[in-house]
Amino acid sequence: MYIGGPTADPLLQPSFLPDPAEDQLAPNHKPKVDPDNPGNPGSLTHYAGGCKPCNKYNPERPDDSCKHAERCSFCHSKEHERPKHRGQRGRHALQRRQFLEARDRMHDGLVQIINSIYTVPHDTMDKLKGLMKKQVNSTSGYNDQVQFLARRIAEIGDRAQNQRPDNARVRRARGELCQVDLESRCKWYTGTLHLMVRKMYEDPKNEKQKLEEIRKAVKDSLDEFEGLAKELETNLQGAEGLEEEVKQALTANKWLEKDLGALVHKEIPNATSPEKKQVWDDLKTELTFMLEVTDEECRDKMKRANKLDEMLKLVKETVEKQRESLLGDEEELSSS
């Protein structure tokens, strides 16, 4: 039957419908791969000894490991030992080992540059750890500074990667910073900087120009990394000031000092909006009016506060209740 009308789809007309008897493959059909007898072009020369193993193919998952399947130009024979894929740390460790083995044959200027990549950051890390050990007294304060340094190292490393000729395909620093310790972040940075040098050296420019560009890029990055010590000192000085502000605001409620201090160190040092700092100023004012809190339920609510504005709301409510209670007591005394 012909389907008429101006909106009829020509693919629905009888002449376009497939013959049910025809054996047609589904559009996304992928031929089954026989792991015992692979028929892809790259496997045909396996027994002649001229093949190269496919680093994607897995004989335990023959149908979904190599996307090229039966068209792959690399060998899928089960007899090959499957190559292992190195992670980023493994690749960084390998490039350093290769450098140590080959540096006697490398340009002296390039060797000096790469040596500085592995000495300056680690010396700086020792200085940073010493500063934190000496000046940071609380666990929350220590964690805050670790977060700050890990974030800054990631930023410095990303800027270094932008110097690479192939920077468009570079994957930036990833991962939850709370799960990254300073030592591993420093190793990532040195490996990243070393890789930047390698990629820049592969650029088809004359030797002198390449070395000059590499030297400048590495120096700029290492100078910024060394500058983390001054940034940390500034942070720690600010943290000491915040601790003093917390103590002064809690003259009648010392039990809240630890929890309030953690919130303040979390929100205020990195606060960029004036509203956030205003919340802290308002909270300090309200805390000076708050008498000693003896109600355990009220104390628990304040200790569980996750943000300063939440703490401010609770403190205001408590101050108002205390004020009403005092006024009520005065009225009773005057009436009696």
Q: Is the pLDDT of residue 82 over 70?
A: no
Q: Is the pLDDT of residue 18 over 50?
A: no
Using CA atoms, how far apart are residues 193 and 111, in angstroms rounded to an integer?
A: 14
Paired with 75 in beta bridges are 53
Q: Would you state the pLDDT for residue 6?
A: 44
For 113-123, what is the mean pLDDT? 96
Average of per-residue pLDDT values in the chain? 82
In this structure, what token pair is assigned to residue 85? Answer: 């894929």
Q: Is 294 exposed, middle or buried (0-12, 13-18, 19+ CB in 10 A)?
A: exposed
Q: Is the pLDDT of residue 127 over 80?
A: yes
Instruction: Band the pLDDT of 245: cuts 50, 70, 90.
Output: confident
For 178-192, what is the mean pLDDT? 84
Tell me the longest C-alpha to C-alpha distance in the chain: 112
In this structure, what token pair is assigned to residue 62? Answer: 């023959």
Higher pLDDT, 330 or 78: 78
For 15-30, what is the mean pLDDT? 44
For 211-229, what is the mean pLDDT? 95
The model's pTM is 0.56
Q: Is the pLDDT of residue 313 over 80?
A: yes
Q: Are 316 and 308 in contact (CB under 8 A)?
A: no
